[in-house]
Structure 1
């Protein structure tokens, strides 16, 4: 684990085992591909979320689970560390690919 989460609000990051895609623990225990959809945990909820993530590792759904510091902006979960922001976007060498190329529910797609 490279990022040491210390803040009061945290989410759980991982990689899906089948294809390596970055995912985050969402509401209801499902793994989501958009960090903006990640569930936010605080206090004892963080330990419970980590236990849920450990169960997903054991079930071979995800690997490399760890907590990340987040905040909520306009109803979306936003990572506080640059590494996690980059991970959420996809490949940084090709902004026309990956998650950064997809329109956000909060911002419309660019006109062609």
Structure 2
């Protein structure tokens, strides 16, 4: 299983190039739950802190506000939301419907930013 990658404090230029401000958001209260990624998910953490423990026994990964995280397609693990959590996210390279919905939400957000 490919590992999660975490980049702490990416530059504003990089975030702008990725279009992060147009990505939809997701939030979760403090909790623990299993998850399987059916796409590659790109996430920019806005608030909170989480620990993701891979199902395959590899080391847990911690990420927090200000981190850019890539969850690889097929990754299975357990989320442990340590502090109330909020992220921007984008899906790619995986489940067609989930990726399509992500692209539609991003397009809507871009249009809203242009036309108010």
**Structure-1-length-normalised TM-score:** 0.29
Q: Which has the higher strand share?
A: 2
